[in-house]
Amino acid sequence: MRAIEGNTGCAAMTSTDVETIFEGAAKRLRGVERGKMLSASGLRDPEAGKFFAFTTRGQLVVKLPAERVTELIASGEGRVFDAGKGRPMREWVGLTPADETACAEYMREARKFVSG
């Protein structure tokens, strides 16, 4: 895995690395739909009708409760996600999972959140 140190102090991977991890982790989840979210490949819970994870700009982006997002950002594990518009998206956080297992765990947590 190629890691590049970013200004935030969080390791960032290439888009290809994150997409490869994302694809492997997505195979571990049952009953999800794929679709486009912000021009990126994303996962959606069909029962909830909501997206919960996608990849963009070399990061995994997941939807989590605001408190959890704040916790991940404060720990340095996550980054504010703004979709390139300069305004943070509420309840979304950018992450750089270490591996497929970590990615799958973030995705499960996000799916559980959107399915309520």
* Annotated domain spans of the chain: 3-115
pLDDT for the residue numbered 1: 29
pLDDT for the residue numbered 14: 61
Whole-angstrom Cα distance, residue 3 to residue 99? 12
Cα three-residue angle 45-50-55, rounded to 5 degrees: 85
pLDDT for the residue numbered 10: 41
Q: What is the pTM of this model?
A: 0.84
Mean pLDDT score, 58-74: 96
pLDDT for the residue numbered 18: 87
The CA R_g of the chain, rounded to the nearest whole Å, is: 13
Quote the distance between the C-alpha of residue 102 and its chain's center.
11
**Confidence label for 80 from pLDDT (cuts 50, 70 and 90):** very high
Total number of residues shown for the chain: 116
Collapsing DSSP states into helix, strand and coil, what is residue 66?
helix
**Confidence label for 85 from pLDDT (cuts 50, 70 and 90):** confident
CATH class of 3-115: alpha beta
